[in-house]
Chain A
Amino acid sequence: MARSYGYFPGCSLKGTGRAYEESLLTLFRVLDLPLAELDDWNCCGATSYMAIDETAAFGLAARNLALAQMAGQQDLLAPCSACYLVLRKTQDYVGRYPAIAQEVNTALGNGNLKILNSVRVRHPLEVLYMDVGTRRLSEKMQRTWHGGPVACYYGCQMVRPYTEVDRAFNPTRMDELLAAVKVPTVDYSLKTKCCGGSLTGTTHSVGVELNRILLKEAVRKGAQAIVTVCPLCQYNLDAYQSEIRRITREHIEMPILYFTQILGWALGGDIGSLGLKRAISGRKTIGQWFTETRVEKEAYA
């Protein structure tokens, strides 16, 4: 039995990103990696909070980190890029600026908590790459991909400014993980460009245009689906495809998947527990791709 990872779902994985949580839990189960959801977690303090009141954002993030530390966790898994970034940034700033550390710890002190920066904030992509490794994924592969090539999309927050998950320019670890289970990927130059984030809600037309660019380039490169590591990216790319078709009269329709869905499926996870039915776009394609085909004998050898 491997050691367990602390798990911080954040609001998205319990809401619009439930497919992410479901597939993540399935994938970690087939890999025999126990996840322990953090007890009494709260909002991570991400983007909107950080822009308006930095101290409050640090405080919120720090409480989650302190709880993980109290629970004796060495690693805290944050699957959402926004959560990952704000938790990672809080650790960085608390470590670097004594004034922030003091402010944060004063606030935490009211709940008898203290941040020690002993917990490692981690993203599942990095855990799979570093702790599991492509070789083990290949060995554990159970199903052969018969879908089309996919574009790996990392988004902007995952690799910048912190580069523990992957390189800031041209990250490739998701591509390598998918290649390990024989899923073809395309060279997608927009892999770290902005998905629009919350702009789709605030300055809608700008947000949608950014998504149009991402989708169109993926099509041009021959991808039939985009694979994401972040619930906000996935939602933006998935939800506005019909609107983009209406505005541009271009036929764009493709599944927007989580990398955990593909890996979970390839490693033989229960197809019904991968959140695949929650998709908005490309549902027909998803139905065709994610079936019960087993690895053929020669391919397995």
Chain B
Amino acid sequence: MPDRNPVRIGVYTCHCGTNIAATVDVKALAEFAAALPGVVVSREYKYMCSDPGQDLIRHDIRDHDLNRIVVASCSPHLHEHTFRTALKVGGLNPYYFHMVNIREQASWVHENKAQATRKAKDLVRAAVCRVALHEPLERGRVAIHPDVLVLGGGIAGIHAALTLANAGKHVYLVEKEPTIGGHMAKFDKTFPTLDCAACILTPKMSAVRSHPNITLLTYSEVTKVDGYVGNYKITVLRHPRYIDEDLCAGCLECLEACVYKQAKVPDEFNMGLGKRKPIYIPFPQAVPQVPVIDPETCIQFKSGKCKKTCIEACGERHAINLQAEATTQEIEVGTVILATGFRAFDAARAPGYGYGRYPNVYAALEVERMVNASGPTAGEVILRDGRRPQAVGIIHCVGSRDENTNRWCSRVCCMYSLKLAHLIKEHTGAEVFNFYIDIRTPGKGFEEFYQKLLTERVHFIRGRVAEVTDWVFDPSEDGKLVIRVEDTLAGFVRRIPVDMVVLATGLEPRADAPEVRRLFNISCASEGFFLERHPKLAPVNTFTDGVFLAGCCQGPKDIPDTVAQAGAAAAEALALIDAGYVETEPNTARVIEEICCGCKTCNSMCPYHAISFVGEIHKSRINEVLCKGCGTCVAACPSGAIRQNLFEDDQIYAEIEGILTHA
């Protein structure tokens, strides 16, 4: 031990009100600690985390010349930082500190006071043994590149990008589809205010297009991510749209000129209800206002025998290039916001409801397009044969709250079902039935909207629908779809004949979520949505520093919550950028090169890709910035060549000895 001997330890036992004191005899614990070797001061106090509590430590460092501190209180997750700061203010290296968790690991999980106290004593003895061997450590600093990658151009990505751009940061907004806008662009009205989705979204889309601080990369995907917080190198694959974004003026004359006089290809934007040409623009307000050619259906790509009237129409601009190929682009950013959104549940996976079997069973997004004035039916709600429905059933929780498919509540379906009920009633005057398990309206103005629907003579039947069928029990059902349901309020099984069934499909993780997860080295929760660092206190952070989450990729949420979260993610990124650097924890691992035999065992084990192999010297090396101090490599190294700060062998052995030495 290079510095000041002898070791002079201060031990502080916290009552945490009664959280600890009710189950652990704190006085006895403090007396016990006072007698341990090297302990000079031992105190107990009601709240160690309070200012007076921290002052105790500072004053004792000064008055008793302490050089090691142990605090027995709560989880290090909560207050380790608090106490380390107290040490620093008191003039000690903050790593001359060890924290003992006698709350979550003793008082909260035991009822017998004597036994809980004994366990707390063992834990404190272990800490005292270990802290004596602590060495001073320094935190490192990493500079932050000020540019930001926002992945996903739905409302979450758009809002995050604009927030950052308005704060003067340069943003790369990468979107997989040919246009930004995401799911929100497909909606007609938004609940509960019923304002037009396009009217509130398209101004923001235009702002993205014209913002000097935003580089918009549509029809693009991230294929590779290198680097670490502050210094990411991102490879973006740009699919060819066959129309040069810089040369195209957005006149759309090429669409008119296409040899396909009639649109024949099912239109993705309208959920296949409408048709488009092989050269198309997804919707009138698409951003960028640049068409795209679909090589799967374009005659030139299929047979090479097209008159290429599109190129003729483009004329002198020469914006159309059928030889275009995919390109890659490398960008450097310091932080990343993932806003990759969700996938609507495939209604065919709930086969009892007849989607794909009975033509007049629709998924909610299809009806959303139908009620939209610019949709495939110009705002008319009609059946596949053109009739107007006289009765419509909306089935809630399709692919939500279901043991057979997805167990979670998708949060938005109750409200969008109410909205669709209102719109369908408004457009058709039909009888509308809602079939629900519970009506969940927890947002601002949501319950009021539900109450309004109740006065609009929309029917609400509580019960999970058993099946949608076309078998007829009674002649009045002929030609109808029959919804069979147990009405759990009335207490019997009902058959409700309707003309149209709308399935309120839930939200689930995108199919490519696992791929994105791997690229950015973040985690997914069991259901597949990206995992936030803490469900309450770090809801937009991930376990990877510098990577933040916004919108439905983290879990189902409505537009207000998505926008709020996108703003929060932007703020978190800004905080990092404006600080200019991040401090890194010093509890990292390092390779002792004289011992390392270059076997590479550790290389593949590191979950953070922090270990590389240096060929010239035939040794492994750990990047301290990437290392999270998990210790996997330390344990894996067959030569014992890897050591880790704060987890040195002698420190761990001392701790074990301490815990096993019963008084």
Contacts and interface: CB of A to CB of B under 8 A. Distances in A.
Contact of B472 (A167, A169, A217): A217
16 contacts: A167-B351, A168-B351, A169-B351, A170-B351, A170-B357, A189-B469, A189-B470, A189-B471, A190-B469, A190-B471, A213-B471, A213-B473, A217-B471, A217-B472, A220-B471, A220-B472
A170 B469 CA distance: 11
A220 B469 CA distance: 14
Contacts of A168: 351
B536 to A, nearest CB: 39
A162 to B, nearest CB: 15
Given A170-B357, A217-B472, A220-B472, 14 more contacts: A167-B351, A168-B351, A169-B351, A169-B352, A170-B351, A189-B469, A189-B470, A189-B471, A190-B469, A190-B471, A213-B471, A213-B473, A217-B471, A220-B471
User: Most chain-B Cβ atoms within 10 A of its Cβ — which of A169, A189, A213, A220?
Assistant: A189
A220 B477 CA distance: 12
Contacts of B473: 213
Contacts of A220: 471-472
Contacts of A167: 351
Grouping DSSP codes into helix (H, G, I), strand (E, B) and loop, the A interface class, with mixed when no group exceeds half, is loop
Contacts of B470: 189
A213 B469 CA distance: 14
A168 B472 CA distance: 21
A213 B357 CA distance: 21
Contacts of B357: 170
| A-B CB proximity, top 8 nearest | A169-B351, A189-B471, A217-B471, A189-B469, A169-B352, A190-B471, A189-B470, A170-B351
A240 B52 CA distance: 89
B413 to A, nearest CB: 21
Nearest to B472: A220
Interface in A205-257: 213, 217, 220
Interface residues of A, number: 9
Interface in B432-475: 469-473
Contacts, number: 17
Contacts of A217: 471-472
A1 to B, nearest CB: 40
A168 B469 CA distance: 15
A170 B351 CA distance: 8
A215 B454 CA distance: 41
Nearest to B351: A169
User: Most chain-A Cβ atoms within 10 A of its Cβ — which of B352, B470, B473?
Assistant: B470
User: Most chain-A Cβ atoms within 10 A of its Cβ — which of B469, B471, B472?
Assistant: B471
A260 to B, nearest CB: 26
Contacts of B351: 167-170
A269 B473 CA distance: 39
Contacts of B472: 217, 220
Interface string B464-504: 00000111110000000000000000000000000000000
A44 to B, nearest CB: 29
A159 to B, nearest CB: 11
A217 B475 CA distance: 11
Nearest to A217: B471
A35 B51 CA distance: 86
B501 to A, nearest CB: 14
A229 to B, nearest CB: 19
B499 to A, nearest CB: 17
A167 B404 CA distance: 14
A170 B361 CA distance: 15
A291 B105 CA distance: 83
Contacts of A170: 351, 357
Interface string A179-210: 00000000001100000000000000000000
Contacts of B469: 189-190
A26 B469 CA distance: 37
A170 B356 CA distance: 11
Contacts of B352: 169
A116 to B, nearest CB: 31
B404 to A, nearest CB: 10
Interface in B419-441: none
A5 to B, nearest CB: 30
Nearest to B467: A169
A168 B352 CA distance: 9
A280 B342 CA distance: 57
A217 B471 CA distance: 6
B551 to A, nearest CB: 33
Nearest to A190: B471
A90 to B, nearest CB: 24
A168 B471 CA distance: 18
Interface string A136-179: 00000000000000000000000000000001111000000000
Nearest to B475: A220
A143 B197 CA distance: 61
A167 B472 CA distance: 23
Contacts of A190: 469, 471
